[in-house]
Chain A
């Protein structure tokens, strides 16, 4: 046990393992019960398996001000943050996890500024503030190559980075590479993700914003997840139309890219807005203060990306399109750049932890 965060997680889980009252809430406690003592690898795995539903905090007979002072969501949340810095790739950039909220905020602001300034510089006022309609209208503001090349390169980098990070987590938490080929475990994990099983907190939801059980966080998260997926689908179809069918954007309202993008964008807007509302109004006692900025920055960036995307759609035939499009692309760029160094990692690491959980529960041992 190196860090004080690890030591605290170990202390907390050792007490939990002698109690086990919370085993009905989520996957962390049944995973804990497979062990008598915990290695650093075990604890890091638990930290990424925890969905931060907080059922165990409000149910805990040993929560502060009890002298044991147990706070599982906080202890695991702090450790989770450490694992992000430890497992992320390339590790030279792990400094980005210190003060992550500020860093991601700056990255986003800088990205918006860069896109707007470069567009103004290279395309001039006329194109930026002009009204453009018809096929290829967007490219008259931001050229085709200026969108395609940076985002393709960045996309490739993100995929490599997330993969490396996930494999680091898999290895460092004691998983064997071959285990990743277990299809049944993946099926279980995908299903757990798609329905957000562990935000059900044993059936009644999780404890947000206060100690009462509620499904609201689960629904907001669903909106974010499926909204994000729809936006991804919209972009992929648009890419296909553009490159293989020779039909560049903008597309009419009743076209797949726009319909999917609109539904996805609205869902993302509602979901991320709702998550931000919950963050603002939630009981902070079971939260890790260090993770708060990271969560806010990522969620706000999602919110702003979808908001500007919707605005582009609404005003694409006006003179505001150039401004809105460049700001939107700026936020997308910020989202992409910060993806391997922020809250987005939870999607990948949580998934790996769920696969691991499916495997070991099936085998009945750690």
Chain B
């Protein structure tokens, strides 16, 4: 690993722009501001190896484009994009900002490529999104590597293991940030600040405030560094919140996943092909309600509502090859009774549940690629599709836990990316970009690759507008 090639920043100077955070939005802001001529200091709380926040776990970005190109198979226009956003958020979005973000994303892939991003052609694994989303060659970490290299080349000063802890703000006016750098508390001064430090989904104490003790059993799918410090500081300083603090994007993932940073490989796609029981060996929701991509995001909450926040997806050998392989091998047994023993579930209760489920299935033409109508009869909860009896050993189980991806509570911003304070006025030199403000646009649900869209668009806006502010300020003085 190369050492940090940038020299230690000069903290006695006043930078034009301070960027707090080191993910996609932060780098887009830093590169844009630096290209506009500003001096830029970027504080990334993680060590170099884990830089990039949650962006390092991403894989693609959705953007508005008039026609297909080398990596997109066709056009994706504003109205379709907007309708998709309305659909996933069920209207929980700000039309002005949402449409603005979509319009500003037009052909943004080109700008990304100019800053080192490489896209991959549409391939087997990406086809279902190949028209709307461009996939980064090698994924989000490769994108972050490219952006960091570009930012270094441009002369952005980067400090790793630098965790911003507090902001000096007087009447909505930012002057400096206090941060911890490898155990030493230091101060960075700047004429404007861009807050791009993510949500608070890795802050279990904060999650517990909304979710109660069950949050202790949540797994955090992304970076452990997103503690929401800047979000907290700004809310305490009187910034206007937006987004439901009781909501987060949570999916059911393999319970054996690491507590943090397990990323994509911990997901499980087996639920529609089996049954899911809780700690008491009871089913609790229709496993075959819809296609999995349309349902996986509700299963995090469903499992979170079960005792001990644990579930077990059971399938038999008929279904083992029907879904994407996952990182941990299934727990396997020759009989349901043995499987119960392995899972430390009550074997009688599990036997009864499986027997009742099997008895409720009906013959039909099972088709994993369609809503096949293979439904149970006379059982609660029902299973609406893909209901086949669990009768062919060996039997397999995957333990499930809620895995939280991101939180919705955000800072309200305007079109310039300025943070809006409680009185409705924008803080003139405090800008926000990325997950810390995504709740303005994504108030509910999720749409693949759209977090990166918001980060890229508002990162660039915050970079540009912060420099515009600094220039005007310098002209006045």
Q: Which A residues have a C-beta under 8 Å from some C-beta of B? A: 14-15, 17-25, 30, 33, 36-37, 55-56, 58-68, 202-204, 210-213, 283, 285
Q: Which residues of A contact B329 (CB under 8 A)?
A: 14
B1 and A24 contacting across the interface, CB-CB below 8 Å: no
Q: Does B149 contact A (CB under 8 A)?
A: yes
A-B contact pairs, 13 of them (CB 8 A): A18-B267, A21-B139, A21-B140, A23-B124, A25-B138, A30-B123, A36-B325, A60-B141, A61-B56, A61-B139, A64-B49, A66-B50, A212-B149
Q: A59-B142, A61-B140, A202-B138 are in contact. Are A17 and B263 (CB under 8 A)?
A: no
A203 and B261 contacting across the interface, CB-CB below 8 Å: no
The 9 closest A-B CB pairs, nearest first, are A59-B138, A24-B120, A21-B139, A59-B142, A18-B265, A18-B327, A24-B137, A202-B137, A61-B141
A55 and B263 contacting across the interface, CB-CB below 8 Å: no
Q: How far is the CA of A37 from the CA of B145 in the complex (A)?
A: 31
Q: Does B431 contact A (CB under 8 A)?
A: no
Give chain A nearest CB distance to B241 CB in angstroms.
31
Residues 147-179 of B contacting A (Cβ, < 8 Å): 149
Q: Which residues of A contact B294 (CB under 8 A)?
A: none
Q: Which residues of B contact A20 (CB under 8 A)?
A: 125
Q: Does B99 contact A (CB under 8 A)?
A: no
Q: Interface of chain A, helix or strand or loop or mixed?
A: loop
B142 and A58 contacting across the interface, CB-CB below 8 Å: yes
Q: Which residues of B contact A204 (CB under 8 A)?
A: 118, 137
Q: Which residues of A contact B261 (CB under 8 A)?
A: 61, 66-67
A15 and B120 contacting across the interface, CB-CB below 8 Å: no
Q: Does B57 contact A (CB under 8 A)?
A: yes
Q: Does B135 contact A (CB under 8 A)?
A: yes
Q: How far is the CA of A343 from the CA of B140 in the complex (A)?
A: 34
Q: Which of A18, A202, A211 contacts B264 (CB 8 A)?
A: A18
A21 and B59 contacting across the interface, CB-CB below 8 Å: yes
Give chain A nearest CB distance to B465 CB in angstroms.
31
Q: Does B324 contact A (CB under 8 A)?
A: yes
A59 and B327 contacting across the interface, CB-CB below 8 Å: no
Q: Does B2 contact A (CB under 8 A)?
A: yes
Q: Does B121 contact A (CB under 8 A)?
A: yes
Q: Which residues of A contact B264 (CB under 8 A)?
A: 18-19, 21
Chain A residue at smallest Cβ distance from B323? A36
Q: How far is the CA of A67 from the CA of B140 in the complex (A)?
A: 18
Q: Chain B: interface residue count, which band?
A: 35 or more
B56 and A24 contacting across the interface, CB-CB below 8 Å: no
B145 and A58 contacting across the interface, CB-CB below 8 Å: yes
Q: How far is the CA of A242 from the CA of B266 in the complex (A)?
A: 67
Question: Given contacts A18-B326, A24-B138, A211-B145, could you give 7 more A-B pairs where the C-beta distance is less than 8 Å?
Answer: A14-B325, A15-B327, A18-B264, A30-B123, A59-B142, A66-B261, A203-B137
A202 and B120 contacting across the interface, CB-CB below 8 Å: yes
Q: Which residues of B contact A37 (CB under 8 A)?
A: 325
Q: How far is the CA of A213 from the CA of B121 in the complex (A)?
A: 18
Q: How far is the CA of A68 from the CA of B325 in the complex (A)?
A: 17
Q: How far is the CA of A60 from the CA of B118 in the complex (A)?
A: 15
Q: How far is the CA of A301 from the CA of B118 in the complex (A)?
A: 37
Give chain A nearest CB distance to B271 CB in angstroms.
16
Q: Which residues of B contact A285 (CB under 8 A)?
A: 1
A33 and B265 contacting across the interface, CB-CB below 8 Å: no
Q: Which residues of B contact A23 (CB under 8 A)?
A: 120, 123-125
Q: How far is the CA of A18 from the CA of B329 in the complex (A)?
A: 11
Q: Does B321 contact A (CB under 8 A)?
A: yes
Residues 231-268 of B contacting A (Cβ, < 8 Å): 258, 261, 263-267
Give chain B nearest CB distance to A12 CB in angstroms.
11
Q: How far is the CA of A211 from the CA of B139 in the complex (A)?
A: 15
B263 and A61 contacting across the interface, CB-CB below 8 Å: yes
Q: Which residues of A contact B123 (CB under 8 A)?
A: 23-24, 30
Q: How far is the CA of A68 from the CA of B264 in the complex (A)?
A: 13
Q: How far is the CA of A37 from the CA of B324 in the complex (A)?
A: 11
Chain A residue at smallest Cβ distance from B222? A61
Q: Which residues of B contact A63 (CB under 8 A)?
A: 49
Q: Which residues of A contact B266 (CB under 8 A)?
A: 18
B265 and A62 contacting across the interface, CB-CB below 8 Å: yes
Q: How far is the CA of A33 from the CA of B57 in the complex (A)?
A: 20
Q: Which residues of B contact A211 (CB under 8 A)?
A: 2, 145
Residues 447-472 of B contacting A (Cβ, < 8 Å): none
Give chain B nearest CB distance to A141 CB in angstroms.
50
Q: Which residues of A contact B145 (CB under 8 A)?
A: 58-59, 211
Q: How far is the CA of A68 from the CA of B137 in the complex (A)?
A: 21
* Residue with the greatest number of chain B CB neighbours at <10 A, chosen from A20, A33, A37, A58: A20
Q: Which residues of B contact A68 (CB under 8 A)?
A: 258
Give chain A nearest CB distance to B416 CB in angstroms.
33
A18 and B325 contacting across the interface, CB-CB below 8 Å: yes
Q: How far is the CA of A65 from the CA of B50 in the complex (A)?
A: 8
Q: Which residues of A contact B139 (CB under 8 A)?
A: 19, 21-22, 59, 61
Give chain A nearest CB distance to B327 CB in angstroms.
4
Q: Which residues of A contact B138 (CB under 8 A)?
A: 21-22, 24-25, 55-56, 58-59, 202
Residues 325-358 of B contacting A (Cβ, < 8 Å): 325-327, 329
* Residue with the greatest number of chain A CB neighbours at <10 A, chosen from B138, B326, B329: B138
Give chain A nearest CB distance to B139 CB in angstroms.
3
Q: Which residues of B contact A58 (CB under 8 A)?
A: 138, 141-142, 145
Q: A24-B137, A61-B57, A204-B118 are in contact. Are A18 and B1 (CB under 8 A)?
A: no
